[in-house]
Amino acid sequence: MNHAIESAPAVVRATSLGHSIHVEPLTCTIGAELGGVSLAAAAVDDALLAEIRALLLRHRVLFFRDQDITRAEHVAFARRFGELEDHPVAGSDPDHPGLVRIYKSAQTPNDRYENAWHTDATWRELPPFGCVLRCVECPPVGGDTMWANMVEAYRQLPDDIKARIEPLRARHSIEASFGAAMPIDQRLALKARYPDAEHPVVRTHPETGEKVLFVNAFATHFTNYHTAANVRYGQDASPGASQLLNYLISQACIPEYQVRFRWKKNSVAFWDNRSTQHYAVMDYPPCDRKMERAGIVGDRPY
Ligand code: SIN
């Protein structure tokens, strides 16, 4: 599986300021829980931050328990990795721009939209680098989040599929996702503010050089599928493109690529949005679930 993770047992890694991080991999493919770390302290400790960044690249999603931090400390930690961004549909904390509130309750039964496998905000030209998500209130049971390793998903594709998708690009749309539940005028206004983005179907991770399968629930179609090899005459109506796209999107559903996290109040997940997808399991209504997410601006996928 992930050949970078040679062994699953926990390890303790020392940082230069005397901290030691307890690293407990949760699977051999993706995810590790880090103990002995305060994110408030990490925000002002360059050595600790560098260690966390290296662990993020290795495990793709990091989990921290008992982070009884303020919103300002949450934001300060995430800001060490880049600028933060608000979300056009989910609002942010008024006192902490960039800290998006994902609050769900019995009063908002239709406002539950994270239960699709997705990479955050690929409808942006510059999708997020990563996100730092803290649990403020969790249901007594349920409401887990799952992540999938999309480097592994790419690596395991058959060679003929890899060859077919190498040159392909795909359109990603907020209009077709968040906008789809809106009245038409709101939907068109959203689309005008956030025109569809186009990204490679296989991106290269900018830090590790790994190839990543980069289509998800926001992808609507391939933009350059119509080649002589794929299409016989004109607008050949074969279902090849949509079948291929659906097949690729479905790869995140394979359990061997996944980790599943059980939230507690003050648990934090920090994921690399460039190499993962995630799915918030909507099995907790009518209970409440409150999460706060700092999304860090990323770069242009290539
Ligand atoms: C998200 O989709 O970014 C939020 C995931 C969650 O609420 O668990």
Give 114 Cα–ligand 1 centroid separation in angstroms: 6
Please give the number of the atom of ligand 1 that sits closest to the Cα of 278. 2
Give 167 Cα–ligand 1 centroid separation in angstroms: 31
Residue 234's CB is within 10 A of a number of other CB atoms, namely 7
Burial of 295 (0-12, 13-18, 19+ CB in 10 A): buried
Tell me how many degrees the CA angle 168-174-177 measures, rounded to the nearest 5.
95
pTM of the model: 0.93
C-alpha–C-alpha distance, residues 250 and 244, integer Å: 10
What are 249-301's pLDDT values in tens digits?
A: 999 999 999 999 999 999 999 999 999 999 999 999 889 999 999 999 999 99
Hey, whose CA ends up nearest to atom 7 of ligand 1?
280
> Hey, which residues does 23 pair with through a beta bridge?
11, 34
- In this prediction, residue 1 carries a pLDDT of 43
C-alpha distances in Å from residue 13, one per residue of 19, 32, 38, 47: 8, 13, 15, 12
Tell me the average pLDDT across 242-254. 97
* % of the chain surpassing 90 pLDDT: 82
Pocket of ligand 1 (CB under 6 A): 102, 114, 120, 131, 133, 145, 278, 280, 291, 293
- In this prediction, residue 114 carries a pLDDT of 79
Q: Is 71 considered catalytic here?
A: no
What are 59-107's pLDDT values in tens digits?
A: 999 999 999 999 999 999 999 999 999 999 888 999 999 999 999 987 7
- In this prediction, residue 99 carries a pLDDT of 97
Give 277 Cα–ligand 1 centroid separation in angstroms: 10
Give the up-direction half-sphere exposure of residue 209: CA atoms within 13 A in the CB hemisphere: 0
Q: Phi first, then psi: what are they for 77, rounded to 5°? A: -65, -50
- In this prediction, residue 23 carries a pLDDT of 96
Instruction: For residue 19, name the pLDDT band (cuts at 50, 70, 90).
Output: low
Tokens representing residue 76 in the block: 């300060």
Instruction: For residue 4, name the pLDDT band (cuts at 50, 70, 90).
Output: very low
Map tokens 């599928």 to a residue: 225
First-to-last C-alpha distance (Å) of the chain: 24
- Which of 145, 262, 263, 292 has most ligand 1 atoms within 8 Å of its beta carbon, as the pocket-test mutant? 145
CA 279 to chain centre: 9
CA 259 to chain centre: 13
Q: Phi first, then psi: what are they for 291, rounded to 5°? A: -125, 150
In 3D space, the residue among 282, 5, 277 whose CA is nearest the CA of residue 130 turns out to be 277
> Hey, which residues does 202 pair with through a beta bridge?
213
Peptide bond between residue 286 and the one before it cis (omega within 30 degrees of 0) = yes
Tell me the average pLDDT across 230-245. 85
- In this prediction, residue 274 carries a pLDDT of 98
CA 201 to chain centre: 16
244 contacts: CB under 8 Å, gap ≥ 6: 161, 164, 165, 222
Hey, whose CA ends up nearest to atom 3 of ligand 1?
120
Hey, whose CA ends up nearest to atom 8 of ligand 1?
280
CB 220 within 8 A of CB 210: no
Tell me the average pLDDT across 29-50. 96
What are 177-225's pLDDT values in tens digits?
A: 999 989 999 999 999 999 999 999 999 999 999 999 999 999 999 999 9
C-alpha–C-alpha distance, residues 81 and 88, integer Å: 21
CB 139 within 8 A of CB 287: yes
Give the up-direction half-sphere exposure of residue 187: CA atoms within 13 A in the CB hemisphere: 11
C-alpha–C-alpha distance, residues 213 and 202, integer Å: 5
Hey, whose CA ends up nearest to atom 2 of ligand 1?
114
